[in-house]
Amino acid sequence: MVLVQIPMCNEREVSISMLPDVCVLYDLLVTSIVFQLYQLVFSSIGYILAPLCLTESSLIVYEQSISAVCQLDWPKDRILIQVLDDSDDENIQWLIKGEVSKWSQKGVNIIYRHRLVRTGYKAGNLKSAMNCDYVKDYEFVAIFDADFQPNPDFLKLTVPHFKYTPELGLVQARWAFVNRDENLLTRLQNVNMCFHFEVEQQVNGVYLNFFGFNGTAGVWRIKALEESGGWLERTTVEDMDIAVRAHLNGWKFIFLDDVKVLCELPESYEAYRKQQHRWHSGPMQLFRLCLPAIITSKIAFWKKANLILLFFLLRKLILPFYSFTLFCIILPLTMFVPEAELPAWVICYVPVIMSFMSILPAPRYFPFIVPYLLFENTMSVTKFNAMISGLFQLGSSYEWVVTKKAGRSSEPDLLAAEERESKAMNHPQLHRGVSDSGLSELNKLKEHQEAAPKPPVKKMNKIFKKELALAFLLLTAAVRSLLSAQGVHFYFLLFQGISFLLVGLDLIGEQMS
């Protein structure tokens, strides 16, 4: 018996898929220098190709996630889907209700839940759903965030792992990104995520039977959740919190690298920055809370050392502190102090080796190793600030901001979803849930929302003052290095300063609307 949960909150984004080859050609034309010089020559081509690029398929994010989950290949009498909507927009609520009612009419065992008291963010939402009386009839719970689209065979590839391993508490699948090559920002994020999955999760899963739960695309044994204290609202990383508590209670985890679930990477720097702030402040906040329990737990000493030194401190505290203080503060300041000198291996060999090791799980991104190194140093400002915020329980450590996504889907994904849905429409199913008249009213509301004229969306660059201040410091230090003939320092400071300038002016990734 499997319970499937889709927590969501104000999912307004629309998934858009355009004709790729034609639109890429058109984009190259309108952005090339040749086109600017010979606009009259290419204008006729532009007028022909532009309408073709407007040919698109679209699904709202909540539609594609609900559609994918409702088509999971599992016996209908052994699965229940909970759509856990925390939206505060009544229009969004009614649209999601309509989508749930549509699938309920097709015979899918699906229900809609909306909390009256919306506390605790995602953890509170999941905790509320697990308190339902009917949950006691289910043995496993699969969780998918709103932009995740599992394949129909997801449960058949994950749930059987529990059969012969009673101490297994979690089976985690890998994420696959539909927009990993959308822009430079998504490419650099994909490098980090490949390292996270293949090293931090796959290796730890094999040798330690433990890793941090990703919060989605995973299946839990409900008994493991209950014995570990369930979902708690004490931090913004409820997924990491439950994983640590389950590990301390002796439960084992499995990571399946070959089972992939489609999702998105944030395409704007603003959205990515907020995501990383939560991902680095939350663990430090959790570290303060869990440290006594880790020390007094009955797990092996080397597992305690792994939790404290590697899981919490190395990636979340030591590396951001090292990158920020050394490359953003100490190195540029040494340019103004003639007596100070940093050896080349500190500023050159160590970061290059670390970047090489990080990019190794994603070999096709080796051409981006230099931008990756510079961008990671730039992101150290956000990560360092988040780490301090979480460690000392500052106000920003309690902020939980839903990561804004573009709502993208690849063309094959949308076509496959449309084909699966049309097949489901052609097969007569048991009708349940709401009456035909109620469903009709909901569909009318949805059509009205889609037909209503939308105001033009304006995108603008956001100015990040901390990054610009560090860009000024680094570029000034680069000039000072040039005057003092310190070659290797000059090139590093120059390019690092330029990367801070680009990020500070919001010139990397998409702009926020």
Of the candidates 239, 241, 413, 506, the residue annotated as catalytic is 239
Beta strands in 244-287 (DSSP E): 252-263
Q: What is the dihedral of CA 36, 37, 40, 42, to 10 degrees?
A: -60
Task: Return the bridge partners of 257, or none.
Answer: none
Q: Record the tokens describing residue 15, joined without a space.
A: 């998934």
* Cα separation, 474 vs 496, whole angstroms: 7
* Cα separation, 336 vs 478, whole angstroms: 10
- Residue keyed to tokens 């449309």: 418
Cite the DSSP H helix spans in 144-268: 154-158, 184-195, 202-207, 222-227, 238-248
Dihedral sign (CA 367, 369, 372, 374) = negative
Q: What is the dihedral of CA 490, 496, 502, 504, to 10 degrees?
A: -110
Cα–Cα nearest to 259, from 197, 178, 190, 180: 197
Q: What is the dihedral of CA 20, 25, 27, 30, to 10 degrees?
A: -160
Of the candidates 85, 86, 147, 413, the residue annotated as catalytic is 86
Dihedral sign (CA 279, 281, 284, 288) = negative
Whether 77 sits among the annotated catalytic residues: the reply is no
Q: Maximum distance among all alpha carbons in the chain?
A: 82
* Cα separation, 331 vs 104, whole angstroms: 61
* Cα separation, 244 vs 239, whole angstroms: 9
* Cα separation, 39 vs 33, whole angstroms: 10
CA triple 460-369-213, angle to 5 deg: 75
Whether 86 sits among the annotated catalytic residues: the reply is yes
Q: Record the tokens describing residue 218, joined without a space.
A: 């995973």
Element spanning 436, H or E: helix 436-451
* Cα separation, 279 vs 272, whole angstroms: 10
Catalytic residue annotation: 86, 239
